[in-house]
Amino acid sequence: MSAKEVSKEKSMIIQKEMLSRHFKALSTAKETGKKVVYTFVPGNLSELILAFDMLPVYPEINALQSGMRKKSRDFIRDSEKIGYSEDVCTYVKCDIGMMLNGNIGPTGEKLPEPDLLLLSYTGCFTFMKWFENLERLYPGVPVAMLHTPYQEGGKISDEMVQYMVKQLKEDVIPKMEKVSGKKFDPDRLSEILGYARQSQDLITEIFNATKHKPSPIDAYFAGVYYIGPINAGFRGTPEAVEYYRELNNEVQLRVKNGQGPVTPAGEMEEERFRLVLEGPPNWTNFREFWSLFYNMGAVIVASSYTKVGGVYDLGFRHDPWQPLESLSKYCMNCYTNLNLPQRIDLLAKCINEYEADGFLINSIKSCNSFSAGQLLMMRTLEDRLGIPVGFIESDLVDPRYFSYSNIKNRLDSFFQMLDQRKIIQNQQTA
């Protein structure tokens, strides 16, 4: 690594300003009369929320921010004190703990109470239980639920789309009209979807850049920052398009210059291992976790986690000409709503197209939605592609389940295996 200081790129500054404006708007929502919607990242209806000029709050983003700011330990403890068991998803416990402590958001400003709880349910049962709890904690706040049919058969049928459009028309939109006091304007929604589409094109191009060698970015550790605006309510805005255009320019310049990813320790000088990674990251020890990879010259060239708010590399785009249908298809295409064979096929596609040397799973103790079936994924990919596979364990925001030495031991063995394979491959081609 070069010891040079990591300077802030223009895209980082744009993102910081966007997020700070958003949290400012949230903190003053009650004075400005803006209505606030609590909702989730997977299957989020950001464009619809924007069409009603409402502001979204994503509890799981607050939880991960609390994890990064070392606040989650106490929040989780406070939730456990009032009866949440050790097995409950730690995003939920962190979020409830944050509420019990005054609901102070990531920027230190108080988050407003919700005017609407919008549960768009996409494959993770915890979402339902989470919102049942929020409903109890915010009595009287209306709840709109959008039920997304699971892609059990690996296909989206017309009936499934119509089932969702009906819910949007008959339940979700009327509730939004009532809460916001505004009539639904389909033209406004179409305009917003047009921006969403542009952002989706750009983010796909950005993540595709990892096909280059060296990869100009880390698609997981830096990728979680890149998906920030598209997942945090900005997807259908001109600001998001500007952000992704700028980021894409920066990434393409790195490709042109043959540069590797920027890490907290500077620019990676040698790309030794290219990996595809399945599972969310650990947030409480994010830097330490990342260092276990960049210190070994390991770059994540694709990850399932960065597709949690939308799988765009398979071609899905919001469609301004079919607004409600495309909102429905978006929800059904979320990673957590794909069946296991679809997830395995997607990961296999990434391993092949991004020419990965290995496949790694970070299994999250408290996230059943990601963890279920991960061993099957690992064995299937190993058999199908003959690729070295590895398995590590941690948690989202509970620091009690991050063990640096355990993860390091497992990664050391995994990297040794990758090294050995490279030696054998080189001997065979020599």
Q: Which amino acid is at 120?
A: S
* Residue number with CB closer to ligand SF4 (89 or 302): 89
- Minimum Å distance from CB 11 to ligand SF4? 27
Question: Helix, strand or coil for residue 36?
Answer: strand
- The verdict on 176 binding ligand SF4 (CB under 6 A) reads no
- Minimum Å distance from CB 134 to ligand SF4? 12
* Residue number with CB closer to ligand SF4 (44 or 198): 44
* Residue number with CB closer to ligand SF4 (87 or 152): 87
- The verdict on 282 binding ligand SF4 (CB under 6 A) reads no
- Minimum Å distance from CB 37 to ligand SF4? 17
- Minimum Å distance from CB 127 to ligand SF4? 6
The DSSP element (H or E) to which 37 belongs, if any, is strand 36-38
The residues that bridge with 36 in the sheet, in sequence order, are 55
The DSSP element (H or E) to which 120 belongs, if any, is strand 116-121
Q: How big is the site for ligand SF4, counted in residues (CB under 6 A)?
A: 12
Through-space distance between the first and last CA atoms of the chain, rounded to whole angstroms:
30
CA dihedral 242, 245, 248, 249 (to 10 degrees): -110
* DSSP secondary structure letter of residue 391: E
* Residue number with CB closer to ligand SF4 (43 or 358): 43
* Residue number with CB closer to ligand SF4 (173 or 397): 397
Task: Spell out, one character per residue from 117 to 136, where the chain touches ligand SF4: x when CB under 6 A holds, - when not.
Answer: -------x-xx---------
- The verdict on 62 binding ligand SF4 (CB under 6 A) reads no
- Minimum Å distance from CB 349 to ligand SF4? 22
* Residue number with CB closer to ligand SF4 (368 or 420): 368
Q: What is the largest CA-CA distance in the chain?
A: 72
Task: Spell out, one character per residue from 394 to 423, where the chain touches ligand SF4: x when CB under 6 A holds, - when not.
Answer: --x---------------------------
Contact of 115 with 330, CB cutoff 8 Å? no
Listed in sequence order, the residues at least 6 apart from 95 whose beta carbon sits closer than 8 Å to its beta carbon are: 59, 60, 62, 63, 75, 130
Distances in Å between the alpha carbon of 75 and those of 88, 103, 130, 224, 428? 13, 11, 15, 23, 54
Question: Helix, strand or coil for residue 430?
Answer: coil
- The verdict on 367 binding ligand SF4 (CB under 6 A) reads yes
* Residue number with CB closer to ligand SF4 (294 or 330): 330
- The verdict on 89 binding ligand SF4 (CB under 6 A) reads yes
* Residue number with CB closer to ligand SF4 (252 or 339): 339
Q: How far is CA 423 from the centre of its chain?
A: 35
* Residue number with CB closer to ligand SF4 (88 or 192): 88
- The verdict on 425 binding ligand SF4 (CB under 6 A) reads no
Report the C-alpha gap between 244 and 365 in whole angstroms.
33
Report the C-alpha gap between 227 and 59 in whole angstroms.
16
Q: Which two tokens stand for residue 283?
A: 């947030």
- The verdict on 57 binding ligand SF4 (CB under 6 A) reads no
- Minimum Å distance from CB 97 to ligand SF4? 15
Distances in Å between the alpha carbon of 113 and those of 26, 27, 98, 355? 10, 10, 13, 47
Contact of 176 with 281, CB cutoff 8 Å? no
- The verdict on 75 binding ligand SF4 (CB under 6 A) reads no
Q: Token match 């108080």: residue?
A: 110
Angle, to 10 degrees, between the axis of helix 186-208 and the axis of helix 238-257? 10
- The verdict on 370 binding ligand SF4 (CB under 6 A) reads yes
- The verdict on 368 binding ligand SF4 (CB under 6 A) reads yes
- Minimum Å distance from CB 41 to ligand SF4? 8
Contact range with ligand SF4 by CB under 6 A, out of 197-205, 213-221, 362-370, 377-385: 362-370
* Residue number with CB closer to ligand SF4 (120 or 180): 120
CA dihedral 157, 158, 164, 165 (to 10 degrees): 160
* Residue number with CB closer to ligand SF4 (259 or 336): 336
Angle at 105 between CA 102 and CA 108, to 5 degrees: 90
- Minimum Å distance from CB 280 to ligand SF4? 7
The residues that bridge with 392 in the sheet, in sequence order, are 362
- Minimum Å distance from CB 306 to ligand SF4? 14
* Residue number with CB closer to ligand SF4 (94 or 292): 94
For the segment 205-234, give every residue that binds ligand SF4 (CB under 6 A): none
- The verdict on 336 binding ligand SF4 (CB under 6 A) reads yes
Angle, to 10 degrees, between the axis of helix 158-167 and the axis of helix 323-332? 110
- The verdict on 369 binding ligand SF4 (CB under 6 A) reads yes
Binding residues for ligand SF4, rule: CB under 6 A, are 60, 89, 91, 124, 126-127, 336, 367-370, 396
